[in-house]
Amino acid sequence: MRRTIFAIALLTTLILSFTPAAFAAPGSSFSDVDKDYWAAKQILSLADHGIIRGGEDGRFRPADGLRRGELAKLLSEAFLLKQATGSIAFNDLSSDHWAAQFISKTIGATWMNGFPDETFRPDDATTRAQVAKILVQAKGYSIASISTNSFTDVASAYWGQPYIEAAAKNYIITGYPDGTFHPNAPITRAEAAALIYRSLVGKDFVIQTSAVNEITYEKHRRFQNSGPFSIHVLRIPKYASAATNLGLGKDRFLGLERLSSLAKRKNAIAGINADFFSSDSKSGCSGLLVDGQILSSPINERSHFGFSSDRSTFIDRASLDASLTFETTSGVEKTGVIAWVNKARDMVPSKDTIVAYTPFYGPSTLTNSNGTEVELRINKTVTPGSEIIGTVVDVRYGTGNKAIPLDSIVLSGIGSGKTFLTNNIWIGATVRLNFNLKPSWRDDTKAIGGGPRLMRDGQVSVENEGFESSIVSKRHPRTAIGIDPQGNLIILVVDGRMSFYSVGMTLAELAEEIKYHGAIDAMSLDGGGSSTLYFNGAVRNYPNEGKGERAINNALLWY
């Protein structure tokens, strides 16, 4: 008796070899699939992404055959096939069959079909010829003008000959060393996983999407020959109701806090980690400007992401030109270079330097006793282009960790910087401080550092900003921010360092990726274990290689 398969048929309680996990955390394993097994990457990658799983006994059974119903399920999950409309009828299937909805999807996609006797035969073994046909269709390869016969056991009149040839030509499936293909041989589960993975290479799938207050979140899945990618994308319209804001861990320059905690405290809809920092509790972000006040000076002319009250945004490289000038007791004017503002003096690249500390840094300089520290009483904040006239009220030699009063700046010198301050500064001296930011930005600008730049004027441009080659050219978890032609923001966070879930990206790959999503200007932010994306109450990626959130120093938030 003919029975109808309805598209709404649901999988109930059967546990199947190719059943997708409801949530597939990175790190899937099977007791019968060693890491050096020929198809381990493909099997474990598909498992990590919830496309397949093994049995309850923890085995995958790679050498077992694959039933047609199981293939329909695997194809449905791997290619995110849509539910078919209408009804499909086969004599050997009922609407409550475990594979009904998946068979319906593959029939609707015209990737699978039944037999002349109006059966589907869901429990029959899947043959190599059947899989070749399906994968050629999935990849969209043409079978027109196929005339060659590459395999001795595949005749020109055989129904699957053009698909087998197209699959072989495009390196989806191969034959055997003796020149045969074995078109009617059952395909194994390991072979099926490997072939499905190969057919997915280069295809971008949006596997999750949601929106809150015009901000949209997408999770993308993509398999490459080098390994899988898990890519998280935020799209933030220029005039979204949630505006761009800077956030600091525990609201302190040197504070450390998990992004989820910071975002929830601020009632943010979305957030990402931002600038590089050191976890030594002495170094904040590498560059920070708030409403025209320099809170942390740029380093190595690195890129900054900036925004203003009118919702305009930009990416620009920045540097600081700062100095102190005074008259010696003999009336000679002397000028010294201030290399940094609010940096950990004992960790800066040059040991011959002067660092300016403002009250924003914290209650004291946190320096060791190897330098000289000078306190200047001032009445201005440090802003680009400003000249601040201060009076020396204290000089400390060889003590370190000097207090920073709220109405003062402390100059701390080490090496030749120490010698300069020691030999020339005295209590009561008048000192002129000049701080020039290049380029000049608007007074209401907020900006945070990162780098390097990834795109400039629509072209990929991974610029040299003093990063180590391993950071540039090796694959890591990544965070990036871009701007599209209309001024909308595009945020990427790429999981990494998880071999079978997401291998991470090089900076060149990250640049191409954010260009693919529509950016014309873009820069990288801090990556590695810091890469984190928060949206609508939860962290959406697997930060810190799946080990959990790392406490970070600073963030970009939207609320």
What does the pLDDT look like over 119-142, one tens digit per residue? 999 999 999 999 999 999 989 999
Task: Let me know whether 308 and 453 are in one domain.
Answer: yes
Specify which residues 150 forms β-bridges with: none
Gap between the Cα atoms of 154 and 169, Å rounded = 15
Contact 289, 446 (CB under 8 A): yes
pLDDT score of 162 more than 80: yes
pLDDT score of 552 more than 90: yes
Gap between the Cα atoms of 154 and 547, Å rounded = 51
**Which of 404, 438, 472 marks a domain boundary?**
438
What pLDDT digit, counting tens, does each position of 98-118 carry? 999 999 999 999 999 999 999
Gap between the Cα atoms of 200 and 319, Å rounded = 45
Give the H/E segment covering residue 507.
Answer: helix 507-516
Task: Let me know whether 194 and 87 are in one domain.
Answer: yes
Nearest to 256 by CA among 290, 281, 282: 281
Q: Assign 458 a pLDDT band (cuts: 50, 70, 90).
A: very high
In a domain, 148, yes or no: no
In a domain, 256, yes or no: yes
pLDDT score of 1 more than 60: no
Number of domains into which the chain is organized:
3
pLDDT of residue 557: 98
Gap between the Cα atoms of 134 and 112, Å rounded = 7
In a domain, 299, yes or no: yes
* Measured distance between the N- and C-terminal CA atoms of the chain, rounded to whole angstroms: 60
**Which of 170, 200, 230 marks a domain boundary?**
200
Average pLDDT estimate for 366-380 = 95
Task: Let me know whether 463 and 374 are in one domain.
Answer: no
pLDDT of residue 359: 97
485: left (phi over 0), alpha (psi -120 to 50) or beta: alpha
pLDDT score of 349 more than 80: no
Task: Let me know whether 380 and 476 are in one domain.
Answer: no
Task: Let me know whether 519 and 461 are in one domain.
Answer: yes
In a domain, 83, yes or no: yes
Please work out, in degrees rounded to the nearest 5, the angle formed at the alpha carbon of residue 483 by the alpha carbons of 479 and 485.
155
What pLDDT digit, counting tens, does each position of 477-522 carry? 999 999 999 999 999 999 999 999 999 999 999 999 999 999 999 9
Q: Assign 278 a pLDDT band (cuts: 50, 70, 90).
A: confident
User: Roughly what angle, to the nearest 10 degrees, separates helices 68-79 and 189-200?
Assistant: 30
Q: Return the amino acid letter for 435.
A: F
Preceding omega of 477 cis (within 30 degrees of 0): no
Instruction: List, as one string, the DSSP characters of 417-480.
Output: HHHHHHHH--TT-EEEEEEEEES---TT-EEEE---EEEETTEE-----S--HHHHHS-B-EEE
Tell me if residue 76 falls in helix, strand or coil. helix
Task: Let me know whether 355 and 451 are in one domain.
Answer: no
Contact 219, 207 (CB under 8 A): yes
Between β-strands 430-438 and 453-456, what pairing exists: parallel, antiparallel or unpaired?
Answer: unpaired
Q: Where are the alpha helices (DSSP H) in 11-108?
A: 40-48, 68-79, 100-108
In a domain, 136, yes or no: no
CA 357 to chain centroid: 33
**Domain range spanning residue 550?**
208-316+444-558
Tell me if residue 225 falls in helix, strand or coil. coil
Task: Let me know whether 272 and 367 are in one domain.
Answer: no
Task: Let me know whether 373 and 480 are in one domain.
Answer: no
**Which of 162, 177, 200 marks a domain boundary?**
200
Q: Assign 17 a pLDDT band (cuts: 50, 70, 90).
A: very low
Task: Let me know whether 236 and 288 are in one domain.
Answer: yes
Of 221-230, 255-264, 323-332, least confident by mean pLDDT is 323-332
pLDDT score of 13 more than 60: no
Task: Let me know whether 337 and 474 are in one domain.
Answer: no
When comparing pLDDT for 540 and 329, which is higher? 540
Please work out, in degrees rounded to the nearest 5, the angle formed at the alpha carbon of residue 485 by the alpha carbons of 318 and 441.
25
Task: Let me know whether 393 and 452 are in one domain.
Answer: no
In a domain, 153, yes or no: no
Contact 197, 173 (CB under 8 A): no
Specify which residues 373 forms β-bridges with: 396, 412
Gap between the Cα atoms of 548 and 541, Å rounded = 10
Q: Assign 360 a pLDDT band (cuts: 50, 70, 90).
A: very high
pLDDT score of 7 more than 70: no
When comparing pLDDT for 171 and 222, which is higher? 222
Please give the DSSP secondary-structure letter assigned to residue 36. Answer: T
376: left (phi over 0), alpha (psi -120 to 50) or beta: beta
Task: Let me know whether 85 and 100 are in one domain.
Answer: yes
Residue with token string 């079909």: 113
Tell me if residue 206 falls in helix, strand or coil. strand
Gap between the Cα atoms of 272 and 280, Å rounded = 21
Write down the pTM of the prediction: 0.91
In a domain, 84, yes or no: yes
In a domain, 135, yes or no: no
Specify which residues 248 forms β-bridges with: 554
Nearest to 541 by CA among 211, 218, 274, 213: 218
